[in-house]
């Protein structure tokens, strides 16, 4: 029996030694604590070995010292290990150090036994003919046991609390250690009370050490792992299917079951169900496979990413395979939404400019033999539409144009919104039917249910010749073509050509030069005399001329329309009015019966307060308003009639004379004339030219003169070139004349000379 225990103790010590070595190599933090704890278990075992083997009192007593002191060390470390193992916070420093101090004192107390003999002694007993040395405890030994048992009790309590509080799956880990500790404690207690010479609990200590080593460093709670993995796999939103070695589905998670609607956990149906849903045999035939699939359920499109891979064991032997089906519908839709927003205009939902340009580049590249045209679609006076009818109506109008473009542009073409009130189109030239477009655009009615408005749309067309040209340049040219349409209301489509390009560039150039030209007086007023029936000069019309340093003499027919289009006419006119006032005031008493007529462009009324401007000028130069005549055209009355009528009335009240210029060139309306504060009717020379051989036109002319006479309006015919014309006009009762027959427009000095000569002639 003694030998048997000795062998057990030796084997246990060896086993513990191996565990110590292995624990030291562990990468885990707790490994160190375990190695020390297990290491400390060896001395008590060896101490007991000495006790049972020695048969000599001194050696047995030394064994006892090793045993008791060793136990103190084991218990002090057991406390620390318990905290680490049960993952609870270390007790506060003061408690920890107090525990260590108590054990320290106990060790000293035990060592002092060599002097005082207060703790224990040994006595020999004869068992089976062998002298065992049994322990005889005194109060020092009792104190030692009280300390050891108290700490042991605390450790046991910690384990019990942990077992109560932890999920069931963790019980194993705590329970086995607790049970070993209780058995060991029981054996120890038995040893104390039975006073047998052999402490059997030592075997328990040894086993306890081995278990600690196993549970802390070797044990993998497989059932825990299984359950965790399974619950995780069930919870993930991806569909997960597991296949055995033979390709049979053996398990699917909740999402997988829902995806293909597996009934009653019959996982082997999954294969068929997946194929019938996604129509894809590859899913099963291949072990490693990845692809995306779209599922169109009629009301909704869903997107899935499939990924299949093999599962192998540690030795890389195939165990089966798994399939993950990831629903990427939301990501895909978000992506599509972002892509749509980046390429489309949010209001009309047409392509935006950048994307349209990209598409045009692609189409041109892909069809090098097709002849295409680029169309710049411009909504005219759109700002006005917004101002007058409100932005909601403006938006509605833009959407209506977008709708029309969808019908108008063929499959082979592409279109989009370039910005604000402009759209862009590319289409084969052969598909563009100008007559049809003209017909549509002549009556482009926008009706939102409460407001109806005829939208004016112009198309500028550039026929693409060089496909490698910048798309923006193509649109610039198509845009340039628009400037050719001018004020003609029947024409909506215009084509780009090289002359036009030069014209536009020239217009840009002179626009940039204008301020300087005014400052340097390169623009000058030429004066053309107006004569009465006796041939006497009664006044003059101021007409602008640009003596350009490079381009030479520029007629207003060239530059006035440019500035009328871009609004710079205001600068020209203000300057011309000032010049007229300067001339009148410069004459002083000379020519004091003569008036000067100045031209007012319809655009002037847009950009300034014409009345105030002219009144201030007359005041500044202190001239009689009756000597400054104001020429307006009928187009002034095309817009904002009430307001403009008021302005003209106040000019008339201030004493200025108002002339209706170019009467007969536009939509001459006698009706309008009746209400307007007009003093003089200037009849357009083109009217006169037509009257030459057209009896009907002649009669109209006669009637106009009669009518103006009735209304108290003097009639003036301009463009009189021949004596014949003059005779006819005189016969009709015309009172005033202007034309080359009398004089051309002349610079001031020349006109002054002319006036002197003619007054001398008359005298
Ligand atoms: P308009 O106001 O009708 O001016 C009369 C035009 O007829 C002038 O052309 C004049 O030179 C021309 N003319 C006069 N008698 C005859 C004739 O017997 N036969 C022919 N064939 N033509 C004659 P001009 O000076 O070239 O001016 C052209 C137009 O430019 C003017 O037409 C006027 O609308 C505009 N314009 C000229 N100066 C100004 C200006 O300072 N401001 C504004 N807003 N427009 C101006
Ligand atoms: Ca005029
Ligand atoms: Ca005229």
H or E element in which residue 2 lies: helix 2-25
Query: For residue 738, which atom of ligand 1 is closest to its CA?
Result: 15
- Distance (Å) of CA 218 to CA 212, 315, 746: 9, 21, 116
Q: 661 CA distance to ligand 2 centroid (A)?
A: 6
Helix, coil or strand: residue 205: helix
* pLDDT value for 691: 56
HEC secondary structure over 589-632:
CCCCCCEEEEECCHHHHHHCCHHHHHHHHHHHCCCCHHHEEEEE
Where does the chain hold its CATH 1.20.1070.10 domain(s)? 2-219
Q: 759 CA distance to ligand 1 centroid (A)?
A: 25
Exposure of 392 by Cβ count < 10 A (0-12 exposed, 13-18 middle, 19+ buried)? exposed
CATH number belonging to the domain at 2-219, selected among 1.10.220.10, 3.40.50.1860, 2.40.30.10, 1.20.1070.10: 1.20.1070.10
Specify the residue with its C-alpha closest to ligand 1, atom 7: 719
Ligand nearest to the backbone CA of 605:
1
Q: 651 CA distance to ligand 1 centroid (A)?
A: 23
Query: Ligand 1 pocket, 557 CB below 6 A?
Result: yes
Where does the chain hold its CATH 3.20.20.450 domain(s)? 515-762
pLDDT tier at 762 (50, 70, 90 boundaries)?
Answer: low
Q: Is a pLDDT exceeding 80 seen at residue 287?
A: no
Positions of E strands within 245-350 = 249-252, 289-296, 301-312, 318-327
Place of tokens 């956990």: 265
Q: 682 CA distance to ligand 3 centroid (A)?
A: 7
Answer for the pair 425, 409: CB distance below 8 angstroms, yes or no. yes
| CB crowding 714-752: b at 16 or more within 10 Å, else e | bbbbbbbeeeebbebbeebebbbbbbebbbebbebeebb
Distance in angstroms (rounded) separating the CA atoms of residues 361 and 366: 9
Q: Which of 543, 546, 598, 606 to mutate to test ligand 1, by most ligand atoms within 8 A of the CB atom?
A: 543
Tokens of 230: 């399974």
Segment 218-229 mean pLDDT: 73
* pLDDT value for 357: 97
Tokens of 631: 């020429």
* pLDDT value for 326: 92
Number of CB atoms found within 10 A of residue 606's CB? 13
Place of tokens 């009015």: 577
Query: Ligand 1 pocket, 597 CB below 6 A?
Result: no
- Strand 537-548 and strand 595-599: the pairing is parallel
Please tell me the CATH superfamily of domain 224-333, with its number.
PAS domain (3.30.450.20)
Segment 372-394 mean pLDDT: 93
CATH number belonging to the domain at 344-496, selected among 3.50.7.10, 3.30.70.270, 3.40.50.150, 1.20.1530.20: 3.30.70.270
Segment 83-98 mean pLDDT: 82
pLDDT tier at 221 (50, 70, 90 boundaries)?
Answer: low
pLDDT tier at 493 (50, 70, 90 boundaries)?
Answer: very high
Answer for the pair 538, 594: CB distance below 8 angstroms, yes or no. yes
- Distance (Å) of CA 118 to CA 141, 581, 610: 8, 137, 128
Q: What is the mean pLDDT of the chain?
A: 89
Helix, coil or strand: residue 27: coil
Dump pLDDT digits (tens) for 311-345: 888 788 888 889 999 999 999 999 999 999 999 99
Closest CA to 83 of 144, 161, 20: 161
Helix, coil or strand: residue 135: strand
Q: Which pairs count as long-range contacts for 110-114, CB under 8 Å and 24+ apart, including other chains?
A: 110/65, 110/68, 110/69, 110/72, 110/140, 110/144, 111/65, 111/69, 112/140, 113/65, 113/140
Segment 416-421 mean pLDDT: 95
Distance in angstroms (rounded) separating the CA atoms of residues 426 and 413: 5
Where does the chain hold its CATH 3.30.70.270 domain(s)? 344-496
Segment 271-275 mean pLDDT: 84
Specify the residue with its C-alpha closest to ligand 1, atom 8: 543
Specify the residue with its C-alpha closest to ligand 1, atom 45: 599
Query: For residue 526, which atom of ligand 1 is closest to its CA?
Result: 25
Query: Ligand 1 pocket, 573 CB below 6 A?
Result: yes
* pLDDT value for 488: 63
Query: For residue 525, which atom of ligand 1 is closest to its CA?
Result: 41
Fold classification of 515-762 (topology level)? TIM Barrel (3.20.20)
Where does the chain hold its CATH 3.30.450.20 domain(s)? 224-333
Q: Is a pLDDT exceeding 60 seen at residue 482?
A: yes
DSSP 199: -
Tokens of 617: 């000028």
């Amino acid at each position: 029996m003694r030998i048997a225990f000795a062998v057990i103790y030796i084997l246990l010590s060896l086993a513990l030694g191996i565990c110590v070595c292995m624990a030291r190599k562990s990468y885990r933090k707790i490994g160190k604590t375990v190695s020390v704890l297990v290491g400390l278990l060896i001395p008590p075992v060896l101490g007991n070995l000495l006790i049972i083997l020695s048969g000599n009192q001194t050696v047995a007593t030394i064994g006892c010292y090793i045993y008791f002191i060793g136990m103190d060390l084991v218990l002090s470390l057991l406390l620390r290990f318990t905290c680490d193992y049960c993952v609870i916070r270390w007790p506060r420093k003061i408690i920890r150090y107090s525990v260590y101090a108590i054990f320290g004192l106990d060790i000293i107390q035990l060592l002092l036994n060599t002097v005082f003999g207060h703790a224990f002694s040994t006595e020999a007993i004869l068992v089976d003919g062998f002298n065992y040395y049994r322990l005889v405890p005194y109060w020092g030994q009792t104190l030692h046991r009280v300390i050891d048992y108290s700490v042991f009790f605390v450790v046991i309590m910690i384990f019990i609390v942990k077992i109560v509080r932890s999920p069931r799956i963790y019980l194993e880990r705590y329970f086995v250690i607790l049970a070993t500790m209780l058995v060991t404690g029981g054996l120890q207690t038995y040893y104390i009370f039975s006073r047998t010479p052999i402490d059997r609990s030592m075997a328990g200590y040894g086993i306890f050490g081995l278990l600690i080593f196993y549970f802390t460093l070797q044990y993998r709670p497989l059932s825990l792992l299984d359950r965790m993995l399974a619950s995780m796999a069930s919870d993930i939103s991806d569909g997960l299917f597991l296949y055995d070695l033979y390709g049979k589905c053996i398990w699917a998670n909740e999402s997988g079951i829902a995806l293909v609607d597996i009934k009653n956990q019959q996982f082997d149906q999954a294969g068929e169900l997946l194929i019938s849903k996604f129509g894809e045999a590859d899913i099963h035939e291949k072990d490693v496979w990845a692809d995306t699939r779209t599922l169109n359920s009629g009301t909704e499109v869903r997107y899935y990413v499939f990924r299949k891979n093999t599962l192998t064991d540690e030795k890389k032997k195939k165990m089966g395979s798994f399939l993950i089906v990831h629903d990427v519908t939301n990501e895909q839709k978000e992506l599509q939404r972002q892509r749509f927003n980046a390429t489309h205009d949010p209001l009309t939902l047409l392509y935006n400019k950048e994307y349209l340009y990209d598409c045009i580049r692609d189409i041109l590249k892909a069809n090098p033999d097709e002849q295409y045209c680029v169309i710049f679609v411009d909504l005219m006076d759109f700002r006005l539409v917004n101002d007058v009818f409100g932005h909601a109506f403006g938006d509605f109008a833009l959407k209506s144009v977008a709708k029309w473009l969808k019908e108008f542009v063929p499959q082979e073409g592409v279109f989009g919104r370039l910005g604000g009130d402009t759209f862009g189109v590319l289409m084969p030239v052969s598909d563009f039917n100008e007559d049809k477009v003209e017909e549509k655009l002549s009556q482009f009615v926008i009706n939102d249910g409460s407001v109806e408005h005829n939208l004016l749309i112009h198309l500028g067309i550039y026929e693409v010749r060089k496909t490698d040209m910048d798309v923006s340049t193509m649109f610039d040219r198509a845009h340039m073509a628009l400037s050719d349409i001018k004020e003609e209301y029947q024409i909506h489509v215009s084509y780009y050509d090289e002359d036009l390009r030069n014209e536009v560039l020239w217009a840009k150039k002179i626009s940039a030069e204008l301020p300087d030209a005014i400052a340097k007086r390169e623009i000058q007023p030429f004066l053309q005399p107006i004569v009465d029936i006796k041939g006497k000069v009664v006044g003059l019309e101021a007409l602008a001329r640009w003596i350009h340093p490079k381009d030479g003499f520029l007629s207003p027919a060239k530059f006035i329309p440019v500035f009328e289009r871009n609004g710079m006419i205001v600068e020209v006119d203000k300057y011309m009015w000032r010049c007229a006032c300067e001339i009148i005031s410069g004459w002083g008493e000379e020519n004091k019966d003569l008036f000067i007529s100045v031209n007012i462009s319809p655009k002037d009324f847009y950009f300034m307060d014409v009345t105030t401007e002219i009144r201030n000028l007359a005041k500044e130069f202190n001239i009689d308003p009756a000597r400054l005549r104001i020429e307006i055209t009928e187009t002034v009355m095309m817009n904002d009639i009430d307001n403009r009528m008021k302005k003209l009335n106040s000019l008339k009240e201030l004493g200025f004379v108002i002339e209706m210029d170019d009467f007969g060139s536009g939509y001459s309306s006698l009706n309008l004339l009746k209400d307007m504060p007009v003093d003089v009717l200037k009849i357009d020379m083109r009217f006169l030219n037509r009257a030459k051989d057209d009896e009907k036109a002649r009669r109209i002319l006669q009637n106009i003169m009669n009518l103006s006479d009735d209304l108290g309006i003097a009639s003036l015919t301009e463009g009189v070139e021949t004596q014949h014309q003059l005779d006819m006009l005189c016969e009709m009762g015309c009172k005033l004349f202007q034309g080359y027959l009398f004089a051309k427009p002349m610079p001031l000095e020349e006109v002054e000379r002319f006036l002197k000569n003619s007054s001398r002639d008359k005298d």
